[in-house]
Structure formats: structure tokens, C-alpha cells
Amino acid sequence: MTFIAALAIAITISIETLEQLVFKTASKLSAYRKYLLALGVAFHICQLGAWFFVLTLLPLGIAAPLMGATYVTVAIGSRLVFGEKIDKRRAIGIAAIIIGLAIITRSEI
Amino acid sequence: MTRSFAPPPRTLTLFAILLSVDVTVLLAEKVAARTAGMALGHESTFYLQLTQIWWTWLGVGLGPVQLFLWTKILKKTDLSLAYCITSLCYPLTMIASVALLQEQIGWQAWVGAVFVTFGAALIGSDEKISGEKEAFAQPMPPGP
């Protein structure tokens, strides 16, 4: 995988993670809900733009499973921002995804 | 209210439709990006091109359909099961991209995707969340 493709997918995953965290925050902070929802929608549009760019660099069959990294970043982000617990089941899931991502990125792309 | 783990046939049909729509969205986005990709090097032109390709609007337009189906599924089954089944979107997308877009995917990527699918299903399945109210507070699973 080229550096630019790795960077593009990392940016897409980061924006998707922010989007999920903002929507979760919106469900908790009713006073700022409409602003946070607007921010979440803005992140979604940015994520879509970044995703289209990723698709010009990588095959869909590779890019799609790489986006599974979002499960890991959202779980870690939720731990850091909301103090949500990462139990044994989720920890195993995170480990499995990281192993999967490592294998995919080492495959011939 | 906790429901039986095995969903009824009607719910399975909804899952099948949702997964089909998910894969269709991704295929449409890929075709749109591939078509507009000719203009790469001029990013503003690329995004302008995207807005003029109907595949882009097919992908974007199916977003509300995905949300509708997801909400409908959550009315009928547990969130944990819904997350597990929707994680199948990854291998199904790979199969579709090989079959319909003639993409070449090495065996390592398939093995990696199995790990990612298993991990996503495990993270998404939380046996503590089974009530309808809690389930509705959950967004659609992250991903492509």
C-alpha cells in the first residue's frame, strides 16, 4: 500500500470516529444537540469526500475491510471521552481487528 | 425485553435486504470514484465530476434506505445480533468486488477480512444491550 493510500484511509477512519463520537455526545448533551448534530453531519460529508478519494487509490475489496478499524478507534475513543469500559469480549474483538488489518495491509495491493 | 436469539424468517429477509443495500452502496461509490478518478490531479475537478455521476447519487440516496432498514431491524431483534450480522458486509463486499468489478484480492486479504469480521461482530455484540429503548439509542454500525 502506498503512503498516500495509507494516509487517506487513516484520515477517513479518523473523521468517521469523530463523527460517531459527536453523535454520541449529541445524545447526551440536549442543550447543544442541534449544533452537535450539525457538526456530526458536517463530519459525515467530510468522511464521504475522503472515502471517495480512498476508493480512487485502493480496490473496494481492500478498502472496505480496512474501514473495520473504525470499530477499534470508536471503542478507544469512547473509553477516553465517555469512560466506557472495554470488557474482555471487546478487547478480544479489538485484537482480532488489529491482527486482520495487519494481515490486509501486508497483502499485495 | 429480551428476544429469542434466532430471528424469524421475516427479520432474516430484512437482514438480507440491508446487506444487499450496504454492498450496493459501496459498489456504487467505487464505480463513481473510478469514473471521476480520471480527473485526479485536480481535486476540485474530481469532486465536481463526482456530483455529475449518477452512481454517486445512487450511493448517497440509499443512505436513508439503510437507516430505515436498520431501524426496522432493531424493532424486531437484539442490537447484538444486528451488529453481528451486519459485520458480514465486509466479506460480502469483497466477494461482490471480485465478481462484479473484477478486482484482484490476494489470499492474505481474505484471511485478514475474516479477522476483521470476527472482531467487528465481537465488539458490536454486547449482551447487556437487549432492551428496545437502549437499542434505539445506538447508531448504525461504523464502517464504510
H/E element, B38: none
| pLDDT tens digits along B65-76 | 998 898 888 888
B35 domain-assigned: yes
- Per DSSP, helices labelled H in chain A are 3-28, 33-57, 60-66, 69-82, 88-106
**Is B86 within a domain?**
yes
**Do the beta carbons of residue A25 and residue A39 sit within 8 Å?**
no
> What percent of chain B shows pLDDT beyond 70?
77
Q: How many CB pairs under 8 A join A and B?
A: 162
d(CA A101, CA A98): 5
Contact B116 A104 (CB under 8 A): yes
In the DSSP assignment, the letter for residue A61 is: H
For residue B8, the model assigns a pLDDT of 75
Distance between A95 CA and the closest CA of chain B, angstroms: 7
Asked whether residue B4 is domain-assigned, the answer is no
Confidence grade of residue A62 (pLDDT, cut at 50, 70, 90): very high
**pLDDT for the residue numbered B41:** 63
* Interfacial B residues in 115-134 facing A (CB < 8 Å): 115-126
**Through-space distance between the first and last CA atoms of chain A, rounded to whole angstroms:** 6
Q: What's chain B's average pLDDT?
A: 82
**B142 occurs within a structural domain:** no
B137 CB near a chain A CB, below 8 Å?
yes
Comparing alpha-carbon positions, the chain B residue that sits nearest to A54 is B33
> Is residue B143 domain-resident?
no
Sign of the alpha-carbon torsion through A108, A69, B115, A96: positive
Comparing A46-60, B31-45, B104-118, the range with the smallest average pLDDT is: B31-45
Q: What is the pLDDT of residue A2?
A: 87
Q: Chain A: nearest CA to B80, how far in angstroms?
A: 12
In 3D space, the residue among A6, A15, A27, A30 whose CA is nearest the CA of residue A74 turns out to be A15
3-class secondary-structure state, position A58: coil
With cell 474483538, the residue in question is A93
Q: Is A46 exposed, middle or buried (0-12, 13-18, 19+ CB in 10 A)?
A: middle
Residue type, B44: S
In a domain, B64, yes or no: yes
With an 8 Å Cβ cutoff, are B137 and A71 in contact?
no
| CB atoms A68 and B117 under 8 Å | yes
Judge contact between B125 and B55, C-beta under 8 A.
no
Measure CB to CB from residue A55 to each of B30, B114, B117 and give the nearest one: B30
ipTM of the complex: 0.91
For the residues of chain B, what is the DSSP string, one character each? Answer: -PPPSSPPHHHHHHHHHHHHHHHHHHHHHHHHHHHHGGGTT-HHHHHHHHHT-HHHHHHHHTHHHHHHHHHHHHHHS-HHHHHHHHTTHHHHHHHHHHHHH-----HHHHHHHHHHHHHHHHHH--TT--SHHHHHTSPPPP--
Residues 31-50 (B) with a CB less than 8 A from some CB of A: 32-34, 36-37, 40, 43, 46-47, 50
* Cβ pair B19, B88 in contact under 8 A: yes
Confidence (pLDDT) at B38: 66
Flag whether B2 is in a domain.
no
Residue with cell 461509490: B29
Number of structural domains (chain B) is 1
Contact list, A17 vs chain B (CB under 8 Å) = 142
Q: Is residue B144 part of a domain?
A: no
d(Cα B39, Cα B41) in Å, to the nearest integer?
Answer: 6
Query: Which chain A residues have a beta carbon less than 8 Å from that of B123?
Result: 71-72, 75, 89-90, 93-94, 97
Residue B22, domain extent: 9-137
Please tell me the predicted confidence (pLDDT) of residue B131: 44
